[in-house]
Chains A and B, each alone.
Chain A
């Protein structure tokens, strides 16, 4: 019964118009995946899925509440470069040791 209520609320909550977008984000490990998905766990985002193999993040969102540009900013803020914008050194410092995608690459 409870489940039904939850399920119906979920359906009605998500019946409003959503859009989808996919773009490149620099991530190298499972921890990156978690951090990236958590960074986009904000109002307006309905679902996030980061694919480590293709380095693509797939986002389902409500354009009335969040823009794609804001997502790039959020990811930079979490320390991750995206195809559109690169984060500052200070932002990059937040990335965990095993996720230092840039240092490793620049070598």
Chain B
């Protein structure tokens, strides 16, 4: 605070001695009314002022600064380039996004009521509630996304959304589609939670701009990096399952235009435990290194560039516990590099226009090995290289009419090797064009209509349309309707990485002259949402109900129901076969007491497929799910300190298990039992400085006792299958951690 006063004095001195005072008036662009309390300051300096009741301001010129920033919520910040000392008239435009943020300042996880997409944001504060080592674990407190294990031993988690596997959700990193193809499932484990600023979850097909690959939804991860307030962020974590983590994020400014930040992540899994006594390690051991370097440049002429480089190295080992008589060891190793370049120019024309480009390259290697079974079964290696280029133009015709057009090119080279099949390769080349039109009337009704046409070198021309509508019944009750198509290409092995932790035979029934004989999957998703807020206990209470229906018109059915096999075949659409997932979710959030927030949700899922052997529910889906989260914070004490308490309780209904030989083997029969999962956390925090936290996951120590079917070759038959995992094998888990923020303002 001192420097700002000194700077102000300095600029007053300067303005008095040289008489160089910039003055003028700030008004609302639409109403032309003068605006009071607009913050006006020289960019990258501490020197500033506020406009008065009449919207009038005066500010002294300071040396080496010629960009004057006008800032007040909910307006777009405006930058005025001052070339001469004179009087200026500045008009500020309302920023719709900002308006939403202000109106919906509704806690650490909130719904964007007015956005025609069903769009939910999980903030950093929300992510802190879970042990949250990585992205796949960060949905613990979210009712829309579930995370479960792909198999009983590798520790790999996959998500589910709208009753569908995570592969049908499009993952993005800072709005660039990422973690695609072979990386779809494993990729979730590579995004360290402490690097994340917020996660945006959009249910339903979503915007067409990032591509056609979203069917159930879109998940975008925004990184802290450049927008971090503090200079340095540090996080340490230790859990009694033997996991240790170290995360840093550091931010630097160079001059007025250039910022850069780097993030690092180191994780060690040292724990060798067999808490459920099934002879297999509950969690993998191994280590992970992960780094990210990001720089941004903001030019004077409306240019902004973001340049990012990432690198990852991950090794893990799992399998039988130490004293097992016939050991079975599995290991996986992964490496990934990425380069992402984003450029944007705001054009100064009559209408507000901007041009954006995205260019990215990733290279991913994965290798999986089994040692112990005859002939080292299920050895797999895969390599995917991706190159993606997009150029787009956004035009704001009027405040209410926006139009975005663009072209894209996507190239994927897959080189895979699977011991059951030998080598199989494919190179995908997709060029496309897209257009999205947004129209808003009186803030009452809004429509976003988009479509893209892509030409795929294997699958030909693909038209993908999407429509989102929002109508406000009242100021705070919104109805949304959405419909959209989505599609994706199947990766037979890594879409189902759990199969590698088994000796199942992977069998494809080819159905055409396509790569691997598999058609492209495509589905139509329709949704209806009604959401609103009201006053309850003198505070804001929000509620929402959403219903989604996803129907595949083409799908590669993953059939786990033949013992010893994973069969893949095209859905027999012509024969009347259907693959449908229907979900309904109710969610409410309210605050009955000061600093006490309660969130409750219920979800119903009905997801079934007509397999070759008849109609069955999808395996590992709970028809009913209950979810609740209670968060309480004490009053501030001392110097901005408080204690935070958080409890999440979830109930899962029975889940259909894939067919297995011996129903008594797992004690679960055709269905898993129902169970509660309760997590709790206590944290002591000093606002924006540091916090220490202590948590327990799975307080009641619920465990799945048999996760793996394994009979040693010497016993006559060789069976190894870990694809029956519906709950954690480790049981109760405790952890401690700290976060430090250094060098803030």
Contacts and interface: CB of A to CB of B under 8 A. Distances in A.
Contact of A6 (B39, B49, B102, B592): B592
Given A41-B594, A46-B594, A107 B59 contact: yes
Nearest to B745: A97
Given A28-B37, A41-B636, A105-B49, A52 B102 contact: yes
Contacts of A101: 37, 50
B684 interface: no
Interface stretch (A7-15, A65-73, A80-88): A7-15
A28 B39 contact: yes
B441 interface: no
Contacts of B52: 105
B62 to A, nearest CB: 12
Interface string B33-72: 0000101000000101110100000110000000000000
A47 interface: yes
Interface stretch (B4-12, B235-243, B252-260, B297-305): B4-12
Contacts of B73: 52-53
Contacts of B37: 28, 55, 101, 105
A16 to B, nearest CB: 12
Nearest to B5: A103
A18 B598 contact: no
A38 B594 CA distance: 11
Interface residues of B, number: 34
A95 interface: yes
Given A3-B600, A10-B537, A103 B593 contact: no
B635 interface: yes
A7 B593 CA distance: 9
Contacts of A11: 537, 592
Nearest to A8: B592
Contact of A47 (B12, B48, B537, B687): B537
Contacts of A96: 1, 745
A105 B50 contact: yes
Interface size class of A (residues with CB under 8 A): 20 to 34
A74 interface: no
Interface in B2-23: 3-5, 8, 12
A95 B1 CA distance: 8
A28 B745 contact: no
B50 A3 contact: no
B594 A104 contact: no
Given A10-B537, A103-B4, A107-B8, A38 B39 contact: no
A3 B593 contact: no
Nearest to B59: A107
Contacts of B636: 38, 41
A52 B74 CA distance: 9
A98 interface: yes
B709 interface: no
Contacts of B489: none
B59 A3 contact: no
Interface in A1-55: 2-3, 6-7, 10-11, 13-14, 18, 28, 34, 38, 41, 45-47, 49, 52-53, 55
B596 A6 contact: yes
B538 A104 contact: no
B538 A6 contact: no
B4 A97 contact: yes
A55 B50 CA distance: 14
A66 to B, nearest CB: 13
B579 interface: no
B43 to A, nearest CB: 15
B628 interface: yes
Contacts of B593: 6, 10, 13
A20 B52 CA distance: 29
B200 to A, nearest CB: 20
B538 A14 contact: yes
Contact of A97 (B1, B74, B635): B1
Interface of A: 2-3, 6-7, 10-11, 13-14, 18, 28, 34, 38, 41, 45-47, 49, 52-53, 55, 60, 93, 95-98, 100-101, 103-105, 107
Interface of B: 1, 3-5, 8, 12, 37, 39, 46, 48-50, 52, 58-59, 73-74, 102, 537-539, 592-596, 598, 600, 628, 630, 635-636, 687, 745
10 contacts: A3-B598, A14-B538, A28-B39, A45-B594, A47-B539, A96-B745, A97-B46, A97-B745, A100-B4, A107-B8
